[in-house]
Amino acid sequence: MPRLLLIAHAPSDNTRRLTEAALAGANHPDIDVEVIYKPPLEANADDVLAADAILLGTTENFGYMSGAMKDFFDRIYYPCLEHTEGLPYALFVRAGNDGTGAKGSIERIIIGLKWRAIQPALVMAGPFQQDFISQCEELGMTLAAGLEAGIY
């Protein structure tokens, strides 16, 4: 069974709701994919190496990805380099500002890892909107369904 790894930093109620929505979408009852969720400080290179796709979620902190997400990348980068090329991934960013710094910092690391985006990053900026929840659910479902179908 394909394995989807969700790594998301959710320090607030709103980001927790977004992460739960992504998990709900990925765990849709019509999709047969193993979904594993780990906060970035608990995830390691073995988790990434065992995944068939990865969904990343972060807050925008001071115009950058969260420190927890940066720590995750620092720990997995070299062990995964050259072993996860082409890994399908998707990204969601919850941003109080415009999210470009957080998105760009993650995408620069992923260029080095040579992972493959399944779609442009989902950046949810400004005041929290209820629509953000459905967007994250759809993102999780899209990645899981494509993984199950062998598209990614």
Rounded to an integer, what distance in angstroms lies between the CA atom of residue 88 and that of residue 70?
A: 19
Half-sphere exposure of 60 (CA within 13 A, CB side): 19
Question: Which SS3 state, helix, strand or coil, does residue 149 take?
Answer: helix
pLDDT of the residue at 97: 86
* Cβ neighbour number for residue 20 with a 10 Å cutoff: 17
Question: Which SS3 state, helix, strand or coil, does residue 1 take?
Answer: coil
**How do residues 81-113 score in pLDDT, each as one tens digit?**
999 999 999 999 999 889 999 999 999 999 999
Distances (CA, A) of 112 to 11, 26, 82, 115, 140: 27, 26, 10, 8, 24
pLDDT of the residue at 60: 95
Give percent above pLDDT 90 in the chain: 98
Is the pLDDT assigned to residue 53 strictly greater than 90?
Answer: yes
Whole-model pTM over 0.85: yes
Q: How far is CA 88 from the centre of its chain?
A: 10
**How do residues 120-142 score in pLDDT, each as one tens digit?**
999 999 999 999 999 999 999 99
